[in-house]
């Protein structure tokens, strides 16, 4: 195991002008060495143990629908384990989110472990913000692989610049979204980014950026932790589908439409001095 570094999870990860410009144009970016190998192994152990303890999905893959085959999903692990909380609440990651979104502060929406089992199915094209009752587009997800992640394992793929596309925004994750969004992306000639992830590499993508992942063709589980950040001034929008209503009830307790999403589950994780 690699030696522990002198870094803390609140250390700064500086972004240069080219990286900021890349994200502004494409609304997605992959960043090398955001986490050390020691940190990845540490959080892999903590998150894997908690997912194993909390996972209630016992059906074989061939008895699940497309969504169920795509991944095991366990949410808000920060509430259940202090070691995991140190990752979710880290200023290193939250400050990257703030810089990329060009906002003064970010707050937590929620976290989720996404474990694609060996032999697990594909994750269809979709945009996350279909599920979120948010009043602006200032949302971003950190996608954190807990191991080196090859294309065969199901590395995340992006359609660069697709946040501009309106077609497909009304589609939940499904076989239909895969087909319809693929046609829309192809006809608009958005660039498809499909690359493996090194250990410690983390991607960030906006809520309206379309993305997908291929099936896991290996004999190992693809383990990923996601942290979803909002602009610190984000306000709750009136839900326009049942998924957004559920998100309001679960992730924004007590917040009313039009109010800043400032519930106990949505603390500010970073604020510029």
Q: Tell me what pLDDT residue 3 has.
A: 47
Residues 6+ away with beta carbon under 8 Å from 241: 130, 170
Residues 6+ away with beta carbon under 8 Å from 224: 113, 114, 115, 116, 143, 144, 145, 146, 149, 156
Question: Which residue stretches of the chain have pLDDT < 70?
Answer: 1-7
Hey, where are the domains in the chain? 17-265
Helix (H, G, I), strand (E, B) or coil at 106: strand
Q: CATH for 17-265?
A: 2.60.120.620
* Span 22-70, pLDDT tens digits: 999 999 999 999 999 999 999 999 999 999 999 999 999 999 999 999 9
Residue 270 and residue 266: Cα distance in Å, rounded?
12
Residue 91 and residue 10: Cα distance in Å, rounded?
4
> Max CA-CA distance within the chain?
52
Exposure pattern of 79-118 as b/e (b: 16+ CB <10 Å)? eebeebebbbbbbbbbbbbbbbbebebbbbbbbbbbbbbe
Helix (H) or strand (E) holding 211: strand 211-213
**The tokens 């994780």 sit on which residue?**
269
* Span 134-164, pLDDT tens digits: 999 999 999 999 999 999 999 999 999 999 9
Q: Tell me what pLDDT residue 5 has.
A: 55
**CA 95 → CA 10, 23, 211, 272, distances in Å?**
9, 15, 23, 8
């Amino acid at each position: 195991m690699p030696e522990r570094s002198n870094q803390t999870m609140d250390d700064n990860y500086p972004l240069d002008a080219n990286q900021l410009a890349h994200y502004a144009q494409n609304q997605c970016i992959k960043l090398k060495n955001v986490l050390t190998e020691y940190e990845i192994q540490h959080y892999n152990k903590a998150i894997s143990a908690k997912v194993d303890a909390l996972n209630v999905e016992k059906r074989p893959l061939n008895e699940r629908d497309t969504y169920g085959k795509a991944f095991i999903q366990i949410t808000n692990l920060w509430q259940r384990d202090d070691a995991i909380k140190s990752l979710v609440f880290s200023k290193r990651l939250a400050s990257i989110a703030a810089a990329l979104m060009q906002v003064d502060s970010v707050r937590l929406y929620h976290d989720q472990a996404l474990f694609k089992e060996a032999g697990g199915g594909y994750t269809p094209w979709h945009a996350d913000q279909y599920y979120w009752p948010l009043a602006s587009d200032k949302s971003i997800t950190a996608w954190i692989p807990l191991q080196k992640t090859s294309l065969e394992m199901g590395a995340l793929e992006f359609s660069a610049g697709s946040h501009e596309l309106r077609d497909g925004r009304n589609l939940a994750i499904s076989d239909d979204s895969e087909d319809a969004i693929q046609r829309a992306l192809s006809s608009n000639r958005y660039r498809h980014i499909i690359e493996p992830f090194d250990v410690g590499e983390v991607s960030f993508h906006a809520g309206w950026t379309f993305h997908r992942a291929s099936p896991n063709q290996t004999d190992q589980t693809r383990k990923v932790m996601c942290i979803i950040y909002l602009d610190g001034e984000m306000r709750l929008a009136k839900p326009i589908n049942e998924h957004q209503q559920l998100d309001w009830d679960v992730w924004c307790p007590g917040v009313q439409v039009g109010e800043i999403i400032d519930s106990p589950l949505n603390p500010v994780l970073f604020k510029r001095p």
